Amino acid sequence: MARPSLPTLMPLGPQSLRPFTRESLAAIEQRAVEEEARKQRNKQMEIEEPERKPRSDLEAGKNLPLIYGDPPPEVIGIPLEDLDPYYSDKKTFIVLNKGKAIFRFSATPALYMLSPFSIVRRGAIKVLIHSYPARVGRARGRGEAGRA
């Protein structure tokens, strides 16, 4: 009888924040192939496996948990390997903003042509994660006060 696979333990702290590279994407694709083969074997052997779920503390939009420490400034705003073991065989990466909020993106080509390593796509991600709504509101407020 086959043993159920145990979740891989990820190192904690800032050293677990690794840049997302072409090698990272190749490793994800390899894990996806292995996972599909494992599922097929289990299906043939009629082995039921527990449903995997994403970690709630690593959801997109939430802040990076304290157990990962303060991320070094050089990893802010760049694509990083996903920290959640649930996504280990899925083509995703994360980006942290200055407030340590997690943004999760697909590593498949956007619009069927922009790879996650495209300079255009990286620029769009930087614009998305560094929004400045407070400045817009303040500027609008001053303009309205001048009219009154």
The answer as to whether 32 is a domain residue is yes
Q: What is the pLDDT of residues 36-54, one digit of tens each?
A: 999 899 888 888 888 889 9
pLDDT given at position 15: 85
Residue 67 is part of which domain span? 14-147
The answer as to whether 6 is a domain residue is no
Secondary structure (H, E, C), the chain: CCCCCCCCCCCCCHHHCCECCHHHHHHHHHHHHHHHHHHHHHHHCCCCCCCCCCCHHHCCCCECCHHHCCCCHHHECCCEECCCHHHCCCCEEEEECCCCEEEEEECCCECCCECCCCHHHHHHHHHHHCCCHHHHHHHHHHHHHHHC
Residue 4 has pLDDT above 70, yes or no: no
Residue 7 has pLDDT above 90, yes or no: no
Q: How many domains does the chain have?
A: 1
Percent of the chain with pLDDT over 70: 81
Instruction: Give the residue with greater pLDDT, 60 vs 10.
Output: 60
Q: What is the pLDDT of residues 119-129, one digit of tens each?
A: 999 999 999 99
The answer as to whether 5 is a domain residue is no
pLDDT given at position 49: 81
